[in-house]
Amino acid sequence: MIRIENISKSNSHRILYIEASAALNRGEKVGLVGPNGAGKTTLFRMITGGEIPDEGQVAVEKHVTIGYFNQDVGEMSGVSAVTEVMDGAGPVSTVAAELRELESAMVDPDRMDEMDEIIERYGEVQARYEELDGYGLESRAREVLAGLSFSQEMMDGDVGKLSGGWKMRVALARILLMRPDVMLLDEPSNHLDLESLIWLEQFLKGYDGALLMTSHDREFMNRIVNKIIEIDGGALNTYAGDYGFYEQQRAQNEKQQQAQFERQQAMLAKEIKFIERFKARASHAAQVQSRVKKLDKIERVEPPKRRQAVAFEFQQAPRSGEDVVNIKGVHKSYGSRTIYDGLDFMIRRKERWCIMGINGAGKSTLLKLIAGTADPDQGSVALGASVKMGYFAQHAMDVLDGDQTVFEWLESEFPRAGQGALRTLAGCFGFSGDDVEKKCRVLSGGEKARLVMAAMLFDPPNFLVLDEPTNHLDLDTKEMLIKALSDYEGTMLFVSHDRHFLGELSNRVLELTPDGIHRFDGGYLEYVERTGYEAPGLGA
């Protein structure tokens, strides 16, 4: 369906692709992987015609429809979320728009003299709408929005009043409803809670078109894709299998290449030693000459390219008392909505609680109560002896000074730290080379989040409270963070929609449900085994 043939592409001063080729065939579900800045979004844009390669071509079969979801959702306002979604569904949305105009015209007193023509046209348009299954379209649009966690009120309310994250879901819903021949999804798992993520996973598994997607969520990708295209050093390498298979295969290929490289180096060293030893002797002149010619003809094996995955040893946190947080009889309401009604909850040293619950269950509220950024209406929240807390939430980025560069801000936070240690820290969280000279004000939301997280872990507290810490982290940075937090000696309380993160780091689960609060001894994997579901909103 789509063939990428010997493309080369540069972006300002960076070479992204050198004579790279790949293909997306009918019915394939492909994960596109590569480090940040490798050119994943550029490849999507070349497929949709938004950019053209410098050399080579991207060939799309005739009459193939493409739906492209990216993080730039554009302007949305003045219509309901459900209308916005239906507007993206191709020809039927044009017919639906005319139907709405005619309905308005039918009740417009200034157009009474045109009423016969309006009614006649309305009949024609309505017939066409039925033919295109327009009425079925609305129920399908509502089904998709419900899957992405929209309430009925949100579906029918003005889309312009939604936050950026919810508008992102509306843009995604448009593509899903459209069901094109090919879906290009650039980070569809960002901004989704766990329930929506699992629903989307099921939807994409049942989708019969071709799919090319990027995602920083390895579990999500593993369950959907059957092929990986990797961007590596300007080339596109294809692996048959899921993300887990690709990782194993890549490691095996690197190992084989390293062994081949070492064997060849040993052989070359031996030959060079012989040439050096006998080059001055006339009796060995012919042998020396033949070996020099042989060396000239040998195709050199390159050592495998080393990935830029920086490991960072975080300092150990100071020890806290045994009781870290004690919550007694806490009541909390927002308006008429009761979130907690007499909550008792104790967190002890070294426990790693992950909080599960559907949207609005009170996950972030609990974190805010413990962090002290919200107060209970009744009851008490007390931190234990020697507890030093670090709280990471999406608004934690407000602490950054926009006029400072990344490096200046880190230096101002840790004046006693050496330059080398701070550069390594910055590198771990994706700020390498010139990135440390960027002003904080020009950083993206994801970069700001990474910088604040880096500072928090450089001088670690003994109690970490984390609200969606993996948002905007790429796969390599996420792996580094999981590894660092696995070795962390303190106590943790966190909310995350990343199942790999939940599975690797939790040893307790607190589940918030409409019929009460349930505690599980054992981490997320045991919770899934015991309850039979991956998220509480999905039922057993």
> What would the DSSP string read from start to end of 372-437?
TSS--SEEEEEE-TT--EEEE-GGGGGGS-TTSBHHHHHHHH-TTS-HHHHHHHHHHTT--GGGGG
Instruction: In whole angstroms, give the CA distance from residue 500 to residue 497.
Output: 9
Query: Model confidence at 540, in pLDDT bands (50, 70, 90)?
Result: very low
Q: How far apart are CA 12 and CA 9, in angstroms?
A: 10
Alpha helices in 12-90 (DSSP H): 40-48, 81-86
pLDDT digits (tens, 9 = 90+) for 154-175: 999 999 999 888 999 999 999 9
Q: How far is CA 241 from CA 29, 223, 301, in A?
A: 10, 11, 27
Q: Which two tokens stand for residue 509?
A: 């689960």
User: Tokens representing 434?
Assistant: 């010139």
pLDDT tens readout for residues 44-78: 999 999 999 999 999 999 989 899 998 777 788 88
Supply the pLDDT for residue 539.
Answer: 54
pTM, to two decimals: 0.79
77-122 pLDDT, tens digit each: 888 999 899 887 766 777 888 888 999 999 988 899 899 999 999 9
Helices 445-458, 406-413: inter-axial angle, 10-degree rounding? 30
